[in-house]
């Protein structure tokens, strides 16, 4: 019987999501995950912020004047993620003998739960814009039949360490990193910690709008070790993810 599995990876800026995603999408980790589901086919989806793209242009405006450009930037991200979800839905529902494993950088609810919520609480996003965004977001979830991940991986890193990574990137010429403050990193960190600590309740709030796997779960991985500079830690993180997926797949098989 064909089996599918969806893994979402979330975490603060500079926490190592891209490094981990790239590693999991290559052997030997790719083959390990595929074997857990009887030879399923792995597909990786990263945030599509290509140079010169609509999102890239919106982000440039956003970091120049955050308050003035919050709403269109978040709509641009929502549109990009919606297009990715269509691709994911197609892969998970198509006919064929092989199942699929989806690796997704920032699950669909990541933006609204963390970044948009922070903007609303801080007052950066006006109440009218917040209501409109939430209306569009929930309608999109229902109309597009969004399915949340089976397993969400939270890469948790202390803000002070993220600030060091940010400063290093900025010194290397990363214009985007130069615009980020340690206070911003701390606020995003607190938002992630809050939803991770109450993950079950977070998922319950989406049952009305999205498809939520009944056994959907979250695993928190310490990411204070920089996976880019210390590839050995990628092996540790990949092993923990593999073991969690294995247990979930075995539990489903027994059900």
For the domain that residue 175 is a member of, what is the CATH number? 3.40.50.300
pLDDT at 1: 66
Helix orientation angle between 66-93 and 127-143, rounded to the nearest 10 degrees: 10
Domain count, the chain: 1
Identify which of 137, 188, 136 has the alpha carbon closest to the alpha carbon of residue 162: 188
Judge contact between 7 and 104, C-beta under 8 A.
yes
pLDDT at 75: 93
pLDDT at 229: 86
Question: How many Cβ atoms from other residues are within 10 Å of residue 176's Cβ?
Answer: 15
pLDDT at 104: 96
Identify which of 139, 108, 141, 137 has the alpha carbon closest to the alpha carbon of residue 125: 137
CA angle, residues 46, 181, 120, in degrees to nearest 5: 75
What is the band of 237 on the pLDDT scale with cuts at 50, 70, 90?
very high
Residue 95 has pLDDT above 90, yes or no: no
Residue burial 49-82, b: 16+ Cβ < 10 Å; e: rest: eeeeebbeebbeebeeebeebbbebbbbbbebbb
Predicted structure pTM score: 0.94
The CB-side HSE value for 151 (13 A sphere, CA atoms) comes to 22
Residue 89 has pLDDT above 90, yes or no: yes
Q: Which domain holds residue 196?
A: 5-254
Residue 129 has pLDDT above 90, yes or no: yes
pLDDT at 174: 86
Q: What does the pLDDT look like over 166-218, one tens digit per residue?
A: 999 999 998 888 888 999 999 999 999 999 999 999 999 999 999 999 999 99
Residue 149 has pLDDT above 80, yes or no: yes
């Amino acid at each position: 019987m064909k089996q599918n599995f969806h893994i979402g990876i979330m975490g603060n800026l500079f926490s190592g999501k891209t490094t981990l995603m790239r590693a999991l999408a290559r052997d030997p980790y790719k083959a390990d995950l595929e074997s857990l589901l009887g030879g399923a086919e792995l597909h990786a989806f990263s945030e599509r912020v290509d140079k010169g793209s609509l999102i890239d242009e919106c982000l440039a405006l956003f970091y120049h004047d955050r308050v003035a450009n919050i709403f269109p930037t978040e709509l641009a991200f929502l549109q990009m993620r919606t297009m990715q979800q269509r691709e994911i839905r197609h892969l998970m529902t198509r006919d064929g003998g092989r199942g699929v494993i989806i690796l997704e950088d920032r699950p669909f609810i990541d933006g609204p739960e963390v970044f948009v919520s922070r903007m609303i609480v801080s007052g950066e996003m006006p109440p009218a814009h917040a209501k409109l965004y939430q209306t569009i977001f929930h309608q999109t979830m229902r109309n597009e039949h969004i399915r949340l991940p089976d397993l969400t991986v939270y890469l948790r890193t202390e803000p002070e360490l993220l600030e060091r990574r940010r400063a290093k990137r900025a010194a290397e010429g990363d214009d985007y990193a130069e615009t980020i403050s340690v206070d911003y990193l701390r606020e995003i960190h607190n938002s992630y910690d809050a939803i991770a600590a109450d993950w079950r309740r977070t998922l319950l709030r989406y049952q009305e709008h999205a498809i939520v796997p009944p056994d959907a779960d979250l695993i928190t991985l310490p990411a204070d070790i920089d996976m880019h500079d210390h590839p050995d830690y990628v092996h540790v993180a990949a092993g923990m993810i593999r073991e969690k997926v294995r247990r979930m797949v075995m539990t489903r098989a027994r059900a």
